[in-house]
């Protein structure tokens, strides 16, 4: 069985140094020739046509003009008929425009499917990108960058999503994800790569010694974000942490996170830092804040992939938001010293008990409330982006643009006291017309501000 995060498949193009973020100082814009460098040429003006100059009679002139007019009209009619016939006979399966724009979480996502064969429909690829973007939007209370180009690359091997890379060129984030031509809709729904790459957008570019924080955050946040919008179960999230975090523990001769650049320490060592920070923030704030609040604050301060920061600047911004210096204290401990926490004791205290291929939650455990708080959605936005799976497949990229007062009013009329996640699912399933009216304003009966 393929282990998620076990390896990134090599891309069919040279992998950029540093794996994730590369800034190309060269402009990719091309300028055309400067046609006005030596001034503009004077316009050419045609001399008026005088038929009498060529010995034509008046009646012959009129006949010639009439024939020209009739021919012109006939030609135009034929063109119009041809256009209509082409439109009528066009197959709905014809390849649409190569780039499509998705408006999600206040951002514009430009999706391009590069040439190649895919067994997936364009709609399935769009839904996959949309669901991933919705998960990131929910976790960060908004999409972390205003614009991003997403390029899907068909690959003639494998069976699912094969690799992902995120770079910045000319201040524009670009995500390239390789997808097997044999990938299915089921493999897209189980995929973690697209969400992982989008999480990379939500942290500033830091020096190479700190690459572990970039990959660690993406590894830790991705499954939690997907769970918060209903695309992954809580049990799956914690089972993967139980299985994966031992790979991030320091080995002999380890010199701390900043100085040990193995795969395990980079991905899972970074994720271990994130979990330890999340637990400590919850402990010291009585579950008022968590790592999610710190990461949101970093983005609000301008710390996304488009900007170069020192790591300490980002950590201090997160600590300021939570009111406790957990991130800086933990970094000072782990940056140059191997720290090996007792994972068995950690799971016991959290009430996360491995059971077969899953886990069970012991709600009486000392820190069981921390697990519930980590997994709970912290979104406070009025405009929310909810994944299509959470809403039974009704949503599109506009879904979630919801005015809460209208929703509560409709819910009250239906006898729903608390308009939470379950109530939204109830409306979507039992009253789809009302749900569409609220979320999409499809019939114009409810106008949203």
DSSP string, 221-240: HHHHHHHHTTSS-HHHHHHH
Residue 297 confidence (pLDDT):
98
Strands of 42-194, DSSP E: 99-104, 107-113, 147-155, 161-169, 172-180
CA angle 310, 316, 319 (to 5 degrees): 150
Whole-number pLDDT of residue 198: 98
Distance CA 282, CA 291 (A): 8
Which residues of the chain fall short of a pLDDT of 50? 1-58, 60, 78-97, 381-383, 387-412, 414-449
Q: Mind listing the pLDDT tens digit for each residue in 330-386?
A: 999 999 999 999 999 999 999 999 999 999 999 999 999 999 999 998 765 434 565
Residues facing 180 on adjacent strands: 155
Backbone angles phi, psi at 178, to 5 degrees: -90, 130
Query: Quick check: 144 and 304 in contact, CB under 8 A?
Result: yes
Strand-pair partners of 176: 151, 165
Six-digit token string for 160:
């699912």
How much is the pLDDT for 377?
84
């Amino acid at each position: 069985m393929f282990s998620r995060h076990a390896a990134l498949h090599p891309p069919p193009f040279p992998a950029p140094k540093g794996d994730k973020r590369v800034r190309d100082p060269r402009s990719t814009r091309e300028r055309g020739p400067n046609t006005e460098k030596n001034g503009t040429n004077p316009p050419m003006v045609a001399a008026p046509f005088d038929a009498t100059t060529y010995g034509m009679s008046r009646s012959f002139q009129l006949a010639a003009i009439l024939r020209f007019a009739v021919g012109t009209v006939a030609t135009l009619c034929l063109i119009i008929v041809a256009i209509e016939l082409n439109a009528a006979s066009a197959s709905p399966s014809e390849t649409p425009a190569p780039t499509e724009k998705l408006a999600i979480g206040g951002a514009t996502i430009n999706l391009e499917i590069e040439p190649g064969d895919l067994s997936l429909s364009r709609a399935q690829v769009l839904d996959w990108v949309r669901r991933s973007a919705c998960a990131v939007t929910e976790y960060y209370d908004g999409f972390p960058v205003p614009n991003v180009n997403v390029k899907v690359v068909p690959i003639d091997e494998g069976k699912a999503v094969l690799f992902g890379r995120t770079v910045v060129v000319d201040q524009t984030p670009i995500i390239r994800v390789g997808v097997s031509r044999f990938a299915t809709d089921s493999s897209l729904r189980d995929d973690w790569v697209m969400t992982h790459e989008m999480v990379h957008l939500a942290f500033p570019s830091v020096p190479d010694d700190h690459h572990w924080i970039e990959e660690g955050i993406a590894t830790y946040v991705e499954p939690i974000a997907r769970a918060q919008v209903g695309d992954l179960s809580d049990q799956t999230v914690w089972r993967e942490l139980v299985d994966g975090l031992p790979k991030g523990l320091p080995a002999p001769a380890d010199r701390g996170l900043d100085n040990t650049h193995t795969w395990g320490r980079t991905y899972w060592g970074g994720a271990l830092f994130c979990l330890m920070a999340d637990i400590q923030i919850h402990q010291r704030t009585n579950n008022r804040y968590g790592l999610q609040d710190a990461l949101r604050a970093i983005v609000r301060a301008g710390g996304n992939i488009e900007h170069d920061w020192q790591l300490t600047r980002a950590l201090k911004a997160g600590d300021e938001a939570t009111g406790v210096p957990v991130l800086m204290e933990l970094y000072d401990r782990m940056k140059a010293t191997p720290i090996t926490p007792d994972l068995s004791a950690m799971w016991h205290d959290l009430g996360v008990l491995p059971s077969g291929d899953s886990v069970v939650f012991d709600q009486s455990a000392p820190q069981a409330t921390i697990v519930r708080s980590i997994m709970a959605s912290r979104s406070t936005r009025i405009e929310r982006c909810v994944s299509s799976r959470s809403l039974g497949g009704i949503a599109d990229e506009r879904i979630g643009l919801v005015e809460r007062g209208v929703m509560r009013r409709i819910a009250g009329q239906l006898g729903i006291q608390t308009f939470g996640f379950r109530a939204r699912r109830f409306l979507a399933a039992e009253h789809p017309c009302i749900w569409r009216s609220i979320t999409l304003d499809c019939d114009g009966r409810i106008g949203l501000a």
